[in-house]
Structure formats: structure tokens, C-alpha cells
Amino acid sequence: MANAATDSDATVVTMVIETHSPHETKSWGRRLASILEGGELLGLIGDLGAGKTVFIKGLASGLSLREEDILSPTFTMIQEHHGRFPLYHIDLYRLEEATLDDLGLREYLFSEGIAAVEWFERLRGSAEMEFLSVRISYAGANLRRIEFSALDSRHAQIISKLKRSFA
């Protein structure tokens, strides 16, 4: 776990955890959901089968949505759900590269709701956006490493709260 403050404008907050089952990954999604305030952009990064959709199922249940309603989108790249906040579940897998002008993404990503974007790295210019990165890596059959990080203060504060409450 690292928490490196550089200067007042650019603070990197990072938190790394390991999960040993899909259930555990979902609980971290629920925990994150319990802290969100609306208006957050969650960028999920990780290979196919890493657990991005599993994590979003947990997030959904933490927003009072049914996790069964969270699907791995095949043709629908954007799925909208209405729980404690609107949840926009976006999966860019089918696009090699997306821009904010594709699919009306801008309106979902910068809304009062919560946008959770799988394959966030495929979005052009994503690195310059304010977002909370959830990077999931395969570490064994049922083992996953999840790294939460954020550069902007609003999303960094969410991670700090997650640490204080659950680490």
C-alpha cells in the first residue's frame, strides 16, 4: 500500500488489495459503492477474465441494484441502471479505440451518476481525465490483485475513505 503525496495539486493515492474469490472481489465493489457520492468515473483496467464485470456486480449491489442485471455486454456497450445513483456500465471491449464523441460517451462519463467503464484504457485521452482507476490483474486461479488509484483530489479522497474504512 502506498500513499505518496507529491504536491498539493498532484496527489497520487493508491491502495492495493488481493482477493481470493469472485465473492471477495464483489465485496470490494460493494465497499467502494458505499463511499461514492455520485459523479464519479471508474476506469476498470485488466485483461479478459480479470474480474472487471464481477467487480461491477458488487458495485451494483452496493448501489441497491440487482447484480444479476449486470451483464457482460455483447452488443450493448452501454447499460444504464437506476439504483441509489444512476449507474452507467460501459464496456469498450468491442472498440479498438474509442473517443468521447463515440456512443455519446461524454454524457455518461461526466454525469451526476456513476460511470464504470471496462477497458477504460481504450478510450483516447483517458489518461488526462479525472477518474478512479481500478486495475485488476490475474494472480492465480482464484487470486486477483486489485489496485485502486487516483490523481485528482475528488477521486483520491474516495480511495482515502476506502482505506480508512476497510483497509
Contact residues: ligand ADP, CB under 6 A: 19-22, 24-25, 46, 48-54, 72, 118, 142, 144
DSSP collapsed to 3 states, 28-62: HHHHHHHHCCCCCEEEEECCCCCCHHHHHHHHHHH
CB-closest chain residue to ligand ADP: 51
Residue placing its CB nearer to Mg ion in the complex, 73 or 86: 73
52 counts as binding Mg ion under rule CB under 5 A: yes
Q: Which residues contact 8 (CB under 8 A, 6 or more apart)?
A: none
53 counts as binding Mg ion under rule CB under 5 A: yes
Residue type, 10: A
Binding-site partner at residue 21 among Mg ion, ligand ADP, none, CB < 5 to 8 Å by type:
ligand ADP
Helix, strand or coil, per DSSP, at residue 146: strand
Binding-site partner at residue 50 among ligand ADP, Mg ion, none, CB < 5 to 8 Å by type:
ligand ADP
CB-closest chain residue to Mg ion: 53
C-alpha angle with apex 100: 109 to 82, nearest 5 degrees? Answer: 25
Residue placing its CB nearer to ligand ADP in the complex, 145 or 154: 145
Residue placing its CB nearer to Mg ion in the complex, 121 or 152: 121
- CA-to-CA distance for 133 and 78, rounded, in angstroms? 19
Chain residues binding Mg ion by CB under 5 A are 52-53, 72, 118
